[in-house]
Amino acid sequence: MTMEKVEAKLVRVPGEDDIQKAIKGTAHVGISQRTHEEHLKLWQGYANKTNEIRKALVDLDTDPAKANQIYSQTRALKANYAFALGGYKNHNVYFDTLGGSGGAPKGDAEAMIAEAYGSFENWAADWKTTGIAGRGWAYLAYDFEDQRVFNFIGDSQDTFPQWNCALILAMDVYEHAYYLDFATARAKYIDAWFQVIDWDAVNKRISMFRRG
């Protein structure tokens, strides 16, 4: 029996281009270029480590006798894979949906938020609360089983994600996202963030699963 190896599929590592919309679109609300430039390094780290783990998994020894729940190569690679890939994906959505004109949503995003929360104002109040209560993230995701959106709370990127959901808006509330500009005043950062949501990008994400 031959065990043919499948080459690792690698994720795209973000670059300077990927933070330009955020740099241009958030300076007026007090989120600085420096913050985004430092943040890019962390985002790149998640991408690079995702790729490193994917490459290592190609050579994983799949002898079950070597797997172990206390420590083993499989455990080390796969537990940290969730942290690396989760941190890559949530930053992809964070930077994609940042740097817009903020305010109330339009189109599908407006309809989905109204269906689940009654109004944009109700949603925004819940979102701000969720962002303050989270240790790392607030996530707006469409749940395919509920057929509704929900404001999920996130700590680290591998704590509390849900299955069968599509992430359509993400707010990073780790201190690296705002400390340089707002010190510990996270609520002020969230108020600024509301003004620069890119609802067009959110609607584009919805259209990826709504219309094929």
- The distance of closest approach from Cβ of residue 6 to Fe ion in the complex, given in angstroms and rounded to an integer, is 31
Planar angle of CA 56, 60, 63, nearest 5 degrees: 170
Say how many residues touch Fe ion, by CB under 5 A. Answer: 1
Smaller CB separation from Fe ion, 172 or 198: 172
The minimum distance between CB 117 and Fe ion, in angstroms, equals 26
CB-nearer residue toward Fe ion: 47 or 206: 47
- Contact between 96 and Fe ion (CB under 5 A)? no
- Closer of 112 and 201 to Fe ion (Cβ): 201
Q: Which is nearer to Fe ion, 94 or 117 (CB)?
A: 94
90-109 per-residue burial string, b: 16 or more CB within 10 A, e: under 16: bbbbbbbbbbbebeebeebb
In angstroms, give the least distance from the CB of 19 to Fe ion.
Answer: 12
Helix/strand/coil percent split, the chain, to 5: 55, 10, 30
Give the chain's largest Cα–Cα span. 62
**Positions of E strands within 31-108:** none
CA–CA dist 53, 41 (Å, integer): 18
Q: Could you tell me the smallest distance in angstroms from the CB atom of residue 157 to Fe ion?
A: 9
Site for Fe ion in 144-183 (CB under 5 A): 172
Q: By the criterion CB under 5 A, which residues form the site for Fe ion?
A: 172
